[in-house]
Amino acid sequence: MNDPTWYDPVTVLDRSVATYSGREALRVAGRSLTYAELDREADAVAQWCSDTLPTGCRVAVLGVRDAISYAGILGVLRSGRAYVPLHPDHPEERWRQAMEQAEVQGIIAPSTEHHRLRGHTTLPLYVPMPHCSRVRRPGAEAYVMFTSGSTGGPKGVQVTRANVAAYLRHALQAWDIRPEDRCTQLFGLGFDLSVHDLFVCWGKGACLSVPDEGHALRLASYLKDERITVWFSVPSVIGLMQRMRALEPGSFPLLRLSFFCGEALPWAYASAWAVAAPNGSITNLYGPTEATIAILEHPVRTPFGTMGTVPLGKPFPGALVRVEPEEDVRTGELWLGGPQVALGYVQRQEATDAVFRTDPRGTRWYATGDRVRQDDEGCFHFLGRMDDQVKVQGHRVEPSEVDRVVGMHLGAGRTVTVAVEGTGGVRLVTFIDVPGDTVALMRALKEQLPPYMLPEAILILGHFPLNSNGKVDKRALKELANHG
């Protein structure tokens, strides 16, 4: 289909509403909504946006497990506006930073959550309209997703509807998702992988199943009780389920398709998942928020490797990929270009210019900071980061942002946060070189940082170990974190 709007997220959903109006579209918080019912709730949001808010503005959506969060995203997009998700578990200071940077003009949240917001903002809060019509207005921007930033707090990535459409063009053509499928929705709505959950599922007329609090802790039961056939998560969930002894051979016979993204996928995890879901396929996806959800893919086929991680894979059709070479021209930093590359960071021109580059031919690239190797078949393999950035539970974390917030409360002295690899995944440990009340400090951090950015411990040192260059020896700090 050559029409550039054919894979626009609003168009994709509208097509499914027209074709599958009576089918189940969403199960959340004990409710089951058909496509027609979801359509009506989204139209109510679109009408409110059109009647209440400036044209083309950004609207915050509180991403709780409630139908209004999902209808809110759809309604905001239908009204020609962009949404800015607020994670319900993040501290209110984090919400404030995101809303100020993105210049949000209104908030979508269930009425039961309004009390959490009224004391912190004078922005209009969503109230359902008594009457609504079919609102469809064009809009360039789809959403602003905030990620950890090394300086100046979180960075808001501006993603356009054309970026999302480029992703959906490949996803809806390449992957065999069917109207009878039941798809997981495990990612928080403030995590860009949730955009895949919503629009890949709804683009095929399938049902999106959101686990309740009980199921979120018992994913094996969720899979079975909800008859899940399409799975999408970060790889570390596999390790969690292994530790809970929930990956017995043949545990999930209904699973047809499994996708993993957000972290490196160890071969051992892929093998364990394949044994638990023997009737399905596994696809490893790779892509930073700045390149819209995912842009490389690798179908995992037997025989499985035994060491290391599954390859990142090969680029989607239309994507541009290059390696900024080191001595070996096939090894270096991964750069991404093409229709999925985002606009940049909201109100952060210096940060935008640092990683979004335009070459002499006029092609725009995003420098990922990921070090890769390209093999003889054109497949890319992850070798590590070129900086200190890490992934915690699939979320991007800059340890220097943790240090910046710690420093705000520390006064004198230095702070260094390191990431430590373990069997349970990556954990953060913060070191300070001045005496202090670490309990009070941790309490202060909880008011400013999301849970995945909180250090597991704050340790006091008399002085920091130094390497031969006179810099803080982070390797020695990691040893201290592991062994005391």
CA 162 to chain centre: 18
With a cut of 70, say whether residue 469 has pLDDT above it: no
In percent, the amount of the chain with pLDDT more than 70 equals 96
Residues 36 and 17: beta-carbon distance below 8 Å: yes
Asked which of 155-164, 319-328, 418-427 is least confident by mean pLDDT, the reply is: 418-427
Please tell us whether the domain made up of 9-300 is placed in CATH 3.40.50.12780. Answer: yes
Confidence band, pLDDT 50/70/90 cuts, at residue 468: low
Asked which of 140-149, 193-202, 315-324, 393-402 is least confident by mean pLDDT, the reply is: 393-402
With a cut of 70, say whether residue 309 has pLDDT above it: yes
Cβ neighbors of 205 (< 8 A, separation 6 or more) are 16, 19, 20, 23, 35, 179
Query: What's the whole-model pTM score?
Result: 0.88
Mean pLDDT, the chain, whole residue set: 91
pLDDT score, position 76: 98
CATH superfamily membership of 398-483: ANL, C-terminal domain (3.30.300.30)
In angstroms, the CA 12 to CA 21 distance is 13
pLDDT score, position 404: 83
Confidence band, pLDDT 50/70/90 cuts, at residue 467: confident
Strand 314-315 to 390-392 pairing = unpaired
pLDDT score, position 48: 96
CA 166 to chain centre: 17
**Residue ranges per structural domain of the chain:** 9-300, 398-483
pLDDT digits (tens, 9 = 90+) for 351-409: 999 999 999 899 999 999 999 999 999 999 998 888 888 888 888 888 888 888 888 88
With a cut of 70, say whether residue 194 has pLDDT above it: yes
pLDDT digits (tens, 9 = 90+) for 40-94: 999 999 999 999 999 999 999 999 999 999 999 999 999 999 999 999 999 888 8
Could you tell me which of 357, 319, 361, 355 has the C-alpha nearest to residue 337?
Answer: 319
